[in-house]
Amino acid sequence: MIRSEQERVRLESLAQLRQLGIDPYPAAAYPVDTHAGPLSADFAADREVCLAGRILSRRIMGKASFAELQDATGKIQIYLNRDELCPDEDKTMYNTVFKKLLDRGDIVGVKGTTFTTQTGEPSVLVKELTVLSKSIRPLPSVKTDEDGKVHDAFTDPELRYRMRYVDLVVNPEVKRTFEARSRVIQAMRDAFTEKGWLEVDTPVLQAIPGGAAARPFITHHNALDIPLYLRIANELYLKRLIVGGFDGVFEFSRNFRNEGMDRTHNPEFTVLELYVAYQDYHWMMETIEQLLERVCQAVHGTNTATLEGNTIDFAPPYRRLSMRDAILEHAGVDIDGMDEAALRGACAELGIEVDDSMGKGKLIDEIFGEKCEHHLVQPTFITDYPVEMSPLTKAHRDKPGYTERFELFINGTEVANAYSELNDPIDQRERFEEQLKLGERGDDEAMFIDQDFLRALEFGMPPTSGVGIGVDRLVMMLTDQRSIQEVLFFPQMRPEVFRSGPDLDALEAMGVPSEWAPHVAAAGFDTPEAIREAKPTALREKLNGFRKKNKLDLPALQLEEVESWSA
């Protein structure tokens, strides 16, 4: 493994710590009794404290030094004075351990007394310093000046997402985003459990990937010798539980869709699904309004959030607009009563591209997506979707051709999708068969038919309202993030290729003379494996050929010598 200069220095420091009898990775628990955030927020001098964290910066001035210690809650300055830290003759702990062998990024524990410096900075005078973990890679050197301006920020998205641990250490606002994410989920869970609804787990591995229209990831179960799919949705399982007699069930469901990735799509994403018996979609709109107000309060302490410069007001009630009226309002077209041909004509007039596989539902969705979505900045319920685009939704109680469905849009993005759930088993079977026809027309996202789900409906499902909320997108809205990657700790990336480079130390360890090692590597045998895999006779020939070609001032290799390497 190739080490940079700074890494080699740190590895050397690590070795020297061990020589001094200091374990750089001690096993024992460290008795932390104070945290940096609360300590500096509510600072009082002359308190004995014990805290632990990562050294973020050091300012060494001879016999006294300052360092910033960062723990999970924040930062506090620590002050190390040679004679306070080492009251006896032996000044090793200060002169050698702290000044020479510790680095930015190392994790230490300190015991000492709080005080305020001459410049008014709350600090801890360190009486005892314990090495808790030695860091051998240098952290990016992010600095903040007195105006709060950040210099040399760690900003490369690739590095930030691949090394989220580094991102979290040096970019404190990233931590805030994920803390907000946790509060969003917690607020929802609290709201539902208070109502007596049951949090459940349903299968991620499914034989039939149902409940949504999307391309699934496929895998294989060896013992059963069958294909299995990672779920694209959990909807049909939660409805089975409503059939089984629960009044309310919810699940934070990690779903997987084998489709494109962009600012708002990650192959795996989280949806909160909630189903409540004996309710309809009107009730669900009120429930969602109240829920989002509560969630916004949990994150911001107010009913509003700022998003791309817009103030989003999460206080109920939200505007309710039927899909027909939305299209009428923004595209000037009345879709009511239009057949497929008329819709195609409308799309052509509006300059919307369509293809032959699209049925009525998809055509309407195209118009809506193209002409309406981006206008919906404040939270808006779009209601009453055409039956063709909603195969799991109950037909509208008094608008033929429409369904009792709504989607919630915020800032032009769909955040929630809810129905009065279709519980008529005959109708549901017909809807699935329609989907099958769409699939035959070339719509590769048409739904699969789930016979067991139909059987469950045939036993009788109470009238039910269900909703799915895109948790990742909601968190984006509440944290003013433009990319889903910013609200997922580990967004999907292409696997990183680790180029190991020639391992000269390993070559020498197996007996390759140090003067030969770089040349052996250059000749293409840059790892011990490469040497072991080669026949010694062929290896010797190649290396001596390399020696001749490059006029190396080294004696030719003997066969016994080459054989001894792989022995």
Cα–Cα dist 369/383, whole Å = 14
Given candidates 125, 327, 410, 517, which one binds RNA under the rule CB under 7 A? 125
Q: Tell me, what DSSP letter sits at residue 72?
A: T
Residue (359 or 536) nearer to RNA, CB: 359
Q: How far is the CB of 440 from RNA (least distance, A)?
A: 16
Q: Which residues of 448-469 are buried (b: 16+ CB within 10 A; e: fewer)?
A: bbbeebeebbeeebeebbbbbb
**Locus of tokens 């051998």:** 136
Given candidates 363, 389, 461, 488, which one binds RNA under the rule CB under 7 A? 389
Q: How far is the CB of 270 from RNA (least distance, A)?
A: 15
Q: How far is the CB of 260 from RNA (least distance, A)?
A: 3
Q: How far is the CB of 300 from RNA (least distance, A)?
A: 24
Residue (434 or 563) nearer to RNA, CB: 434
Q: Which residues contact 26 (CB under 8 A, 6 or more apart)?
A: 130, 131, 132
For helices 340-350 and 360-371, give the axis angle rounded to 10 degrees: 20
x/- string (CB under 7 A) for RNA, residues 6-25?
x--x---x------------
Residue (31 or 351) nearer to RNA, CB: 351
Type and span of the H or E element at 81: strand 74-81
Cα–Cα dist 10/139, whole Å = 12
Find the DSSP H helices in 380-480: 425-441, 451-459, 471-479
Q: How far is the CB of 45 from RNA (least distance, A)?
A: 11
Residue (187 or 435) nearer to RNA, CB: 435
Question: For residue 128, with 0-12 CB atoms within 10 Å meaning exposed, 13-18 middle and 19 or more buried, which class applies?
Answer: exposed
Range 338-367, binding RNA (CB under 7 A): 353, 361, 365
Given candidates 279, 420, 423, 485, which one binds RNA under the rule CB under 7 A? 485
Residue (159 or 348) nearer to RNA, CB: 159
Q: How far is the CB of 510 from RNA (least distance, A)?
A: 20
x/- string (CB under 7 A) for RNA, residues 416-445?
-x---------------------------x
Q: How far is the CB of 221 from RNA (least distance, A)?
A: 26
Residue (187 or 233) nearer to RNA, CB: 233
Residue (466 or 536) nearer to RNA, CB: 466
Q: Return the range that interacts with RNA (CB under 7 A); candidates 42-50, 146-154, 309-317, 322-330.
A: 146-154
For helices 172-194 and 471-479, give the axis angle rounded to 10 degrees: 130
Pick from 104, 137, 102, 105: nearest CA to 1: 137
Residue (65 or 187) nearer to RNA, CB: 65
Range 440-459, binding RNA (CB under 7 A): 445, 447
Given candidates 181, 231, 257, 473, which one binds RNA under the rule CB under 7 A? 257
Q: How far is the CB of 190 from RNA (least distance, A)?
A: 27
Range 70-109, binding RNA (CB under 7 A): 77, 79, 81-83, 100, 103-104
Pick from 53, 55, 68: nearest CA to 97: 55
The yes or no reply on residue 213 touching RNA (CB under 7 A) is yes
The yes or no reply on residue 195 touching RNA (CB under 7 A) is no
Q: How far is the CB of 266 from RNA (least distance, A)?
A: 10
The answer to whether 94 touches 86, Cβ cutoff 8 Å, is yes
Partnered with residue 19 across adjacent β-strands are none
Q: Return the range that interacts with RNA (CB under 7 A); candidates 36-44, 142-150, 316-324, 550-558.
A: 142-150
Q: Which residues contact 135 (CB under 8 A, 6 or more apart)?
A: 10, 54, 103, 104, 105, 106, 107
Q: How far is the CB of 242 from RNA (least distance, A)?
A: 19
Range 491-550, binding RNA (CB under 7 A): 491, 493-494, 497, 499, 501
Residue (125 or 562) nearer to RNA, CB: 125
Given candidates 47, 263, 319, 548, which one binds RNA under the rule CB under 7 A? 263
Pick from 162, 201, 231, 246: nearest CA to 462: 246
Residue (501 or 555) nearer to RNA, CB: 501
Distance of CA 30 to the CA centre of its chain: 30
Given candidates 48, 190, 259, 308, which one binds RNA under the rule CB under 7 A? 259
Q: Three-state SS across 496-528?
A: CCCCCCCCHHHHHHCCCCCCCHHHHHHCCCCCH
Given candidates 140, 209, 248, 386, which one binds RNA under the rule CB under 7 A? 140
Neighbours of 216 (CB within 10 A): 24
Residue (182 or 550) nearer to RNA, CB: 550
Given candidates 11, 41, 144, 203, which one binds RNA under the rule CB under 7 A? 144
Helix (H, G, I), strand (E, B) or coil at 403: strand
Residue (459 or 490) nearer to RNA, CB: 490
Given candidates 313, 414, 427, 563, which one binds RNA under the rule CB under 7 A? 414
Q: Tell me, what DSSP letter sits at residue 490?
A: S
Q: What length is written for the chain?
A: 567
The yes or no reply on residue 26 touching RNA (CB under 7 A) is no
Find the DSSP H helices in 442-489: 451-459, 471-479
Range 149-178, binding RNA (CB under 7 A): 151-159, 161
Work out the end-to-end distance of the chain between its first and last CA atoms, rounded to an integer number of angstroms: 22
Torsion, Cα 235 238 240 242, to 10 degrees, reads: -130
